[in-house]
A and B are shown apart, each in its own frame.
Chain A
């Protein structure tokens, strides 16, 4: 029998399914109209949703607010760009990102997990700031210009291949990629390991008395979140053909936090809807004024005060109730 946490995770799955269907319709319309701009924008929204997903794994499940998740997003983007400029292989780029992120994430996690609460937030903020400054000044990484001229590649599955230059093709590929990241995170959080993370968030001090070590799970959560952020970031140069230090800046980390908080902390799916919502708002408001940050900032403040569970905090329980009624009848 499924318990409450499993049931609300199932409600998230339903919401993701709805999102996938909507995305397929969006892609079909895009193909029919021969659109490039909106499909590319949608792809970018999904990539940043992946970053937000990693913030939610930490904030929504482990109770750790990271203000520097852009560090790993940028790390993934730069490694991917560097690898692709040498050898245009998707799998090589992803493999290199994966391995490097585990190593660097373990070091970052070791440092950041020495402290709790606001100190954790500030230390992650600081680590990302330092990394951004270093990259911004590193000539070998193109300094403030970043790396340009990342080639178009074909993502080769053996039986089929998708070109990153195809707007609809790469949009659908990114959709599948992000949904897989979501599914992995959702699966993990419904295991004893994931439940332990939830317990750490709920009452960290009780956990050792149940017989669990708290250091290792927290470090693992940190590394997993780093990997999710980095793999999402690795898609960025494939989409845009360049990477720049802005990807590591605080505005990137901050946007991910805004995405999760407005979308719904601790729902995973909130990161995806929030990411799309934020991109949508930016482009709609951006067509009227360049000062979209005022509007987004005010909406975000409103969400923090009036809607602490975010958008999905309202929608998801409703879905969960419907699911429950259906299983009972």
Chain B
């Protein structure tokens, strides 16, 4: 019995905590992705680069002395107009073509390439690690946990709750959901669909930026940081159900736990194929994902 407890305390629990931190990180990135897909039907291939952009903006502003806590608010605010302009200036240009899915995917893919190379040009290829805003660690039931990671878990939960609150409980959110369900109906009811679309894209991008600020102290900021995250984020969005916020949370926590725990028993090399295998099986048996789409019940 005591060995089981020790096994939990020293082997399983730390691993699950690492998985939890990663889970929160993935959820933060995937949240914007799923909102953009749910509303605009756009696969934002540059989402990972917007996540990196948030981290780099924080890095630049931090280097001129702005405190981390201010950046948490400032960076998403800076990202909002960026996202708005990208939607109106780029995505709307191909949004009405017959093969919208493909063209918007290609366009954002190109944008991601440009952004990634631009980061390399400005910041160089090597990782930058911002100072950890909260130093120290605590003991959670005998498990060592850095305070900043604890903050990340709590902060992540708060962000998810706020986003859900905005989408499901405010007038703004109601407009967004109406536009997602039927844009023509929404437009005839006086919803400014064009602005809702651009606004939702900006919101998704700002969320990615916020994730960048929050995660850079843990995972560092480097040009390809978005790429490493994006497959996992896509997987989470698909398994959770494209456009579903609850789906992202459940799938994000579930898949990162599968990854964390499985890597205890088999080579970590196989954790990606396992997670991806879950996605494939999901697509084959339940293509709509665990939860339905935004605005669709």
- CB-CB under 8 A from B280, the residues of chain A are 111, 123, 126
Tell whether, in the assembled complex, residue A297 and residue B110 are in contact, meaning their CB atoms are under 8 Å apart.
Answer: yes
Do B118 and A294 touch across chains, with their CB atoms under 8 A apart? yes
Chain A 13-62 residues near chain B, CB threshold 8 A: 59
- Which positions 61-94 of chain A face chain B at CB distance < 8 Å? 65
CA distance A59 to B97 in the complex (A): 16
* Segment 191-224 of B: residues with Cβ below 8 Å from A: none
Residue from the set B107, B110, B111, B227 with the largest chain A CB neighbour count within 10 Å? B110
Of B90, B101, B120, B276, which is within 8 A of A126 by CB?
B276
Task: Judge whether A123 and B283 touch: CB under 8 Å.
Answer: yes
Q: Which of A141-189 contact B (CB under 8 A)?
A: none
Which residues 103-156 in B have Cβ within 8 Å of A in the complex?
A: 103, 105-107, 109-114, 116-118, 120-121
Would A254 and B109 be within 8 Å (CB), given that A133-B272, A134-B269 are in contact? yes
Known: A134-B269, A134-B273, A305-B90. A296 touches B113 (CB 8 A): yes
Q: Are B102 and A301 in contact (CB under 8 A)?
A: no
- How far is B82's CA from A218's CA once the two chains are assembled, in angstroms? 40
Q: How many A residues, CB 8 Å from partner?
A: 36
The answer to whether B109 touches A257, judged by C-beta atoms less than 8 angstroms apart, is yes
Bound: A261/B113 CA distance, A: 15
Q: Determine how close the nearest CB of chain B comes to the CB of A148; give it in whole angstroms.
A: 21
Q: Which of A114, A117, A126 contacts B279 (CB 8 A)?
A: A126
Q: Give the one of A65, A119, A130, A257 with max B CB within 10 A.
A: A130
**CB < 8 Å neighbour of B283 from A114, A129, A293, A298:** A114
Is B94 in contact with A126, judged by CB distance below 8 angstroms?
Answer: no
Query: In the docked arrangement, what's the CA distance between A293 and B112, Å?
Result: 10
Report whether B90 and A301 are in contact in the complex, using a CB–CB cutoff of 8 Å.
yes
Q: At the interface, yes or no: B287 with Cβ under 8 Å from chain A?
A: yes
CB distance from B238 to the nearest CB of A (A): 7
Distance of B258 from chain A, by nearest CB (Å)? 15
Cβ-defined partner of A305 (8 Å) among B107, B114, B279: B107
Q: Which of A122, A258, A261 contacts B234 (CB 8 A)?
A: A122
Partner of B103, one of A123, A293, A304: A304
Q: A115 near B: Cβ within 8 Å?
A: yes
A6 contacts the other chain (Cβ, under 8 Å)?
Answer: no
A118 touches B101 (CB 8 A): yes
A182 and B269 alpha carbons, distance in the complex (Å): 37
Residue in B closest to A137 when the chains form the complex, CB atoms:
B269
B-chain residues with CB within 8 Å of residue A292 when the two chains form the complex: 117
Q: B94 to chain A: which residues have CB within 8 Å?
A: 304-305, 308
- A222 interface contact, C-beta 8 A: no
Neighbouring B residues of A125 by C-beta, 8 Å: 231, 234
- Nearest Cβ in chain B — how far from A153, in angstroms? 32
A291 within 8 A of B: yes
Contact assessment for A133 and B269 in the assembled complex, using a CB-CB cutoff below 8 Å: yes
| Nearest CB of A to B80, in Å | 22
Question: Per a CB cutoff under 8 Å, which of B97, B117, B284 touches A293?
Answer: B117
New A-B pairs, 20, CB < 8 Å, besides A115-B283, A293-B114, A297-B117: A114-B283, A122-B43, A125-B231, A125-B234, A126-B231, A129-B272, A130-B272, A130-B276, A134-B273, A137-B269, A254-B109, A254-B113, A293-B116, A294-B113, A294-B118, A304-B107, A305-B90, A305-B107, A308-B94, A308-B97
Top 3 A-B pairs ranked by shortest CB distance?
A: A297-B113, A297-B114, A293-B117
List 26 A-B residue pairs with CB atoms under 8 Å apart, sorted by A's residue number: A114-B283, A114-B284, A115-B284, A118-B43, A119-B287, A121-B43, A126-B234, A129-B231, A134-B273, A137-B267, A291-B117, A292-B117, A293-B113, A293-B114, A294-B121, A296-B113, A297-B114, A300-B110, A301-B111, A301-B114, A304-B110, A305-B90, A305-B94, A308-B94, A308-B97, A308-B103
